[in-house]
Amino acid sequence: MQTKRQSLVETLLNVGIGFVITMVSFYIVFPVLGIESNPAKNTLLTIYFTILSIARNYFLRRHFNKKLKH
């Protein structure tokens, strides 16, 4: 069973790694797809998806911890 703090640390580490992978991916995938972009747009998109990912991962982890507890 994880504490809320452990869930948050796991989520932040997981999403932090995803943040770096996403930033690099935008520079590879966007040109292949013909999407015009720049570093500011890439960073903004990555931050947006990172926030969504943190919330999703944290609440899913807490849900399953609560479910396993009962």
Q: Please choose, from the candidates 61, 62, 48, 50, the residue with its C-alpha nearest in 3D space to the C-alpha of residue 21.
A: 50
pLDDT digits (tens, 9 = 90+) for 6-20: 888 888 898 889 889
pLDDT band at 32; cut points 50, 70, 90: very high
CA-to-CA separations, 37 to 5, 22, 54, 69, in angstroms, rounded: 37, 14, 24, 46
- Burial of 2 per CB tally in 10 Å (0-12, 13-18, 19+): middle
